[in-house]
Structure 1
């Protein structure tokens, strides 16, 4: 069904009794309606037609009501003639509500100030203005044509009015704004011969109908802290200031935001919204039972408008604390944002938007009949046919069939998120009951062992012992009863998953219980795993696959969110989008260093965990994974430099002439999950303040990277490779770096330079660094001296890492990975001048291939050594995923790889494994 619906025959006045009555009562307005309906309304047109009414001697309330009737009739005419779509209708009536409120507030404020003076804040001494908040659909610019408007009245500070003329009587700000609010409600909603402008509902204000009509910011904040209820969070998502000063509006938003949006992922919102919806549905069912002829409520009924709104709103509440892009007040905009983030597929969102437009169009046509605020399909056959024809159908059954299709789709999507979770399995239910009895009632451990044995646990006695220890720990015994029930349900479900998936049941079970203990006090995480059972399945697989991954997730349970979307887990990260997301998130907290540090860590951990889950499922080779992790680090380094520079009060330019140069694993794009970053800092800036400011920037960069926050650290930073090492300056000018490399650097520093590259910052400095690097690598060297220095350095490293008597160290032992790396560095420093391919920083495997192709080493040895290095890296990676830092294995596991590396070593160095 298109958003804009063109009728085939009947005129709008034939179908809308309200329009027909208006034209009958004021036939002279027929020509005006034809003229006005050719264009959509704007604020300027509202003002123009209001002024025409006022110029005729009509008072403001009556003039506004007459304008309202003209606006409504124009919308009916345009909509039913196919000139306007649903979006225009809701935008127009919402902007008209804004116009009505602002106009009356300004008029009434002027009158009250003439009597009582200007309200002034006690603390600031500033003049005060009332902020009128539009709630619900008004807040999202999605108002119905015949809707009432939900309002809340606030003002910034308590105080008294300041009088300036004789005869004025000073009153408190609260009394002033209470009078203003009462008169505003009357001016808008009282029914006169001209009707009303809008019905007004104030029930959403703090403490509802029993609360004061207006509230100061202090009162609002105290209410949120002490009495604010869960359902009010959803109401305040839509709150939009229609009047007031910008700085006051921003202050109020800073009070509202932490109440509405949690800084963590609030998956408890699903259960809360489900409860709210159940209460609404119960009331609708009660009404339908009492009045069976009115059993089709398109707003609150099954598959209705409210369910679409809830689908959008639940993810706003869950994720809005971390993603400001989900704080939009419009249901339409929020659904599109959910598609952009992959929370819903594009097809689902497009279908939901289509259903939303259909239902809202139908809702408007129900209201076009008599300008009544109704959402129920009419009883009279004549009215049913009118509605069907307004919707573009010539018979009622065709409309009802289309309506049912939309409601079925919406209901299915709603149930996918909000449907009650049911195992649907008698065995699972029985296990949950038995588990509850064995844990909750102090039964003997044998009862618990029996439950685990029947499920198929291999070492049920040990698993039972560990579960009892966890369950009776202080952390779990002090959580709420509802959280205990959720946790019990999760443990019950996890038992069968461990039995089905785990290769090492005990290890997986212990890791899982460690994780459960860590999240037990955070009901949001328990809700996530309860509401989305497939995340528990993925969680168990991760716990089984990697000890390192299990501990990482236990330290950062916020990352559970990453397990929700199967598509995201299978897609390569969209790095340009990630850059933009990171910059946007940092810019949302200007000056708030603490929050910016958390943003960097949260987004880093999320991407790292996504790569980790893909790695555990075999989607990456070791080299591909290292490339992705290195790119992630590059982006974070760049973002940190930019953000940290803004915190330096003495900065002498907007964009620093500063660069970060990566060495080691980051330099060679061979980063792993827990690698530190070897970096140096260069600048090229003649300003007298440059050395001091860039030293501050480097130090601040290190602090931002290494500071421990609630989300941990970003990276450990090693700056030992800077010129002159620990005794040298933290930051070097480009010129001094060049002189040092050409005149003073040790050979081992040139070895390190083979794996160095520009990482982040000023690209011109990066290009000049690459030129310096190439000059150094291609400089003439005495082959004998080069060879001896490389051997000496390798021996010093061996002396620092003596071999294990029975195990082979993949990294340090002879024939291991460092041997391969030293051989590559030797080849680069010896032959880069004559073989340009060796100047590239493309990794050890590619450089070995280049050397073999150039005939510098036997091609078969080059290929064998490259393959050996790849195999050892892969094995090292698997070992570290199990939480072991030192990668040592039985010698027979890598005998062929070590032999291949040793053969090439003998070819290059004559078999010498020690210094001569």
Structure 2
């Protein structure tokens, strides 16, 4: 072993010192000694990974061995780099090959337990689905640096289901597969990690499904793909997925490389450059050799802008690797030879500096160190006499990059687009503050308008005076303008909407009024401009239940049962467009609160019914029908399945952002098999129906999701089964349920499924609720649960002292009234069974008065307080505002509620409400 080379290695890297301290045997291994000088081929790296992990079945051992191998290879690469025994291209290729091999190994290891549990993932085309792993960024281009994250996107070819006993859909299988792959590589153990995995480049970024189908990705890129995503997909490369993966990648090429010469890329580049410059200033990272002026990113930008402009017609410019494409630019005459030489020289030097920085502590950073000791290590590694000499060379190379970049991407002088409708503009300016004026200026002189076709610009110029006129007539002109400008920007390439608004002055005025009342409505229209079609044709009446059912049924009838993506789209747009119609009626027609809640509840129930029907049909098509609990064959009409709604849905009190609290109940023979070719038990059939229902309802798509679903109110909560038989539900409620679960049952009702089973559920619910109970015990349990909610969800003591009142959670708020209604049912329905009939608070309180349990005055007072507080919370939700309000404004209402709470629930309670 060369002692001088070892010394250089340890001088270059504190991380290498740590590795050697933990693994002193590395220097004694023949493999390590032989390979310190010679480059490794792709096949050799694959072999090393495979042999290190061969025959390992224990997860902890597998993870440890791969991390130790990573440390050994990192030590070798740092050794080579510090002693100039390799070059940037070779080193980055080897790093990328190791990442590929690690991904493939992790993918294969993660698959085994999933298949054992769920079976093979089979698409509707009958083919077993593979997890397609798309490498993006540096890994996609095989340019990985010493401490890179790896940017990945997970995809699969076609939707379907697994064929095991615990069946799940293909997307869920691939999501679990991808999650496990990430864990195997990303998790930090005592032996470190393999690679940090970044998934943010996937469609819709964080918060979206971790794996996406070929069809969904294609639809996303064609309808919603943004300019920066074109740059990102230049470097995309398939790591796993075989032919299916390559077909998926081929599909993305037209999105990235336009057939025509695409000069709009210059504008996009200017916009991205400006964004990065703002970020550099914000984070004070001028010394970042990647993002700072003249850094690695600018070299990549120069190459990529030419790729996007000419790549569709010059196929040689579609290469992922920066230096390869840079040479091609010289060969086709788009860059002169001197520019190519200078950019290549700067790029290779900057990448070498990047490796020197990252070798110090195995950290993903490109910032020059500030500590003298670390600076000296870099100086020694890069063979400079001192830090100033290094900076002189670095700045000279960066200056050449800056020169080329600024020569390529010159800012043009703003070209005014606005005709002289000066009077309206002056009136508008008079009501705007400086911030709003700047936003208007940026809108008209920004990059978005410069890329518009001339016809679209002309339409916008025609529309603008109409918009200003309508805004000036509103009571909050600046508010309306600021909320509507993002919407106008979202339809700039669909200017037919602007024409329709010009032609329908009433529609424009209604849009402005909605904007002044509800930012939520504006955000919905901005995110989903397709909803404007519905808005412009609305009559602003609340939708009727029968019309909702007919509309959704007709839309779904046109879709084949296996066309899941289309079903998802219909369900989501049905929900969003009808909720928007309710909001428009709420704001513009001032519909009563309870009518609004009824309509929102109807939309949810119709959605649940249609989704349950789809889930049942999809499951039955694959597995046949089960037997019911009485031995009769189930069918499309005789489903032996129901869905119970709890909470706001059960209480017919849905709001705009409400999720759905659901419990699934079946009446099937759990042991008997279905009558299809792929037989499963009745129990598994019921589970699969519920799982498919959840997938249809909650999967994130381009159009969002239908609803958030919460199933924690099922027997035994999250530890319980997703679906419960009616008999098991009955036994649990009668023998094992806590009182708070009976309290939740007060607000439950069956909302979907077979009517005979729904009737059985309702009868059981009443039977459970009217059991005789010790009134003192009920009072004690209700009080205990209420106190927990106040402690966790209510305003803090400091906030209350400052005059803050949480409309829902604080004393005298909505939850107090709800708890009193639930107390009335649990405590008094044993002697007054009619109290258990309804699930909504208003009718419960009315029935309590009719039964003589509450005075008519008390019931009326509670109902009025409840409706007042709900109406205000409803208004705040439309305005995207907190439920915390000024306590002084609600003194009288709270006093009524608190006094009744004291009388009914907690005689010892004291309330220090003060009128301001």
Normalising by the residue count of structure 2, what TM-score does the alignment of the two structures yield? 0.50
Q: What is the TM-score when the length of structure 1 is the normalising length?
A: 0.50
